[in-house]
Amino acid sequence: MTQNLHKLVQDLGLKAKTANSFISNVSSQKKNNVLQRIGEIIWQDKELILKENRKDLLKADRNAISKSKRDRLLLTEDRLQEIISGLNSIANQKDPVGQVVEQWDRPSGLSIKKITTPIGVVGIIYESRPNVTIDAGALCIKSGNAAILRSGSDSFLSSMALHNCIKKALILCELPEEVIQIIPTRDRKAVSKLLQMSEYLDVAIPRGGKDLVRLVQRIAKVPVFSHLDGIVHCYVHSDAKPDMAESVIINSKLRRPGICGALECLLINRNYFLSDNGQLLLKSLIDKGIEIRGDNEVTVVPGTIPAMADDWGKEFLDKILAVKIVDGVMEAISHIKKFGSNHTECIITNDDNIAQKFFNELDSAILMQNVSTQFADGGEFGMGAEIGIGTGKLHARGPIGANQLTSFKYIVQGNGISRK
């Protein structure tokens, strides 16, 4: 690693630590003002942002990027409007800092409160999606944290343009611009340096493919909020309504095939499949342009192809769907436990007892009944935005919004109490 790169990242860490001391005590109104101002500046600078995004897209096209990855990289006026709506939604939420989680008195005379506090300095490493620049920055501002962002090289110019909007807003609102910083280089060695700065960084959040997540988990010297592959399953029970099953599955797969909440594996109850409902469902999916990779029973349907061993537990991020026939909910659960990533699973059934068994037996971050898996999203959960879907079991699970970027402390009060 060059000395210049080492100093660059070190300086970012020092500035973030200093800025964190300031932002952690800023009023709710001032934080909300910054978020609203970011949205205004994004719209004012939209032509520049879209111009930089086109440069990223041209480079991606030269590298023969897949359609799903290109979709994640693409910015449009509509998508900028969605980002601005997310900022306004975050601004309108209750401040997650300083909330009393619990409060109790002890016989000794102690009065104890558990209150929420910012985590500190958050390092966020992400790929492809330039909108994460705004989502992550906004959520950190709302929760009183400083952040160091590291975008993917494919979205570098778009992310830099969006970060500039955050920087302008912070300055206009008389807050330190170092509250949200971005590493201004594509050099991958900067990631290693960032993740090892335990003297400055309090937590790392990777958002991207499993290779990125594993890299961060391997080299980070700070806690990691993991966002693993979205190996999303949907089980269709024998009593599922055909029209509902078809509409939910098509939306789950096709609305945006390249996002982590997209359906990747469909499990169909054998009785449903043999009643012709399942075969009609598969034909409808094929007609929509979805490639069906199925087990031996599935491949009796014209237009399907045999699944390979590695198609189970695979995140396709494309118009490809693995399909398996199962005897019932327990076999579906067993398959998900073996091949899932603890991200999102759905069951389609009108039997609430069957759905409850599905919910009780599985431990994924998000479990759904009769709902498109594309709703596995912080914005749809009312969080305004998300940094990712936490698939670990400690601290942050599911959509990581502003509330999940807080820790807590205890306030203990008394009147001259001494311990015996």
* Lowest mean pLDDT segment, chosen from 10-19, 214-223, 274-283, 348-357: 214-223
Residue 280 CA to residue 302 CA, distance in Å, equals 11
The pLDDT of residue 270: 96
The pLDDT of residue 133: 97
* Lowest mean pLDDT segment, chosen from 104-108, 188-192, 311-315, 373-377: 188-192
387 pLDDT more than 80: no
The pLDDT of residue 280: 94
Give mean pLDDT, residues 245-250: 96
* Cα 43 → chain centroid: 24
Residue 236 CA to residue 241 CA, distance in Å, equals 9
Domains and CATH numbers, the chain: 3-225+400-412 (3.40.605.10), 232-375 (3.40.309.10)
The pLDDT of residue 2: 63
| Beta carbons within 8 Å of 51's beta carbon, 6+ residues apart | none
Using CB atoms within 10 A of its CB, is residue 1 exposed (0-12), middle (13-18) or buried (19+)? exposed
337 pLDDT more than 60: yes
Look up residue 63 and give its two tokens. Answer: 């590298």
Q: How confident is the model at residue 322 (pLDDT cuts 50, 70, 90)?
A: very high
Buried b (16+ CB within 10 A) or exposed e, 93-132: bebbbeeeeeeeeeeeeeeeeebbbbbbbbbbbbbbbbbb
Q: How confident is the model at residue 394 (pLDDT cuts 50, 70, 90)?
A: low
Look up residue 329 and give its two tokens. Answer: 């909910």
Give mean pLDDT, residues 155-178: 97
| Beta carbons within 8 Å of 237's beta carbon, 6+ residues apart | 269, 272, 329, 347, 348, 349, 351, 354
Tally of residues, the chain: 420
Residue 296 CA to residue 299 CA, distance in Å, equals 5
- 160, 52 Cβ separation under 8 angstroms: yes
The pLDDT of residue 228: 67
Q: How confident is the model at residue 180 (pLDDT cuts 50, 70, 90)?
A: very high
Look up residue 92 and give its two tokens. Answer: 């309108």
353 pLDDT more than 80: yes
1 pLDDT more than 60: no
Q: Which long-range contacts (CB under 8 A, 24 or more apart) does 56-63 make?
A: 56/130, 56/154, 56/155, 56/156, 56/157, 56/158, 59/154, 60/154, 63/154
388 pLDDT more than 80: no
* Cα 91 → chain centroid: 19
Question: Residue 55: which of 136, 127, 131, 159 has the closest Cα?
Answer: 159
Residue 386 CA to residue 64 CA, distance in Å, equals 29
Using CB atoms within 10 A of its CB, is residue 369 exposed (0-12), middle (13-18) or buried (19+)? middle
pLDDT mean across residues, the chain: 92
The pLDDT of residue 317: 87
Q: How confident is the model at residue 393 (pLDDT cuts 50, 70, 90)?
A: low
Predicted confidence (pLDDT) per residue in 96-151, tens digit: 999 999 999 999 999 999 999 999 999 999 988 899 999 999 999 999 999 999 99
The pLDDT of residue 200: 94
Residue 11 CA to residue 19 CA, distance in Å, equals 12
State the residue for tokens 């480079």: 59
The pLDDT of residue 214: 83
pTM of this structure: 0.83
State the residue for tokens 């994460």: 132
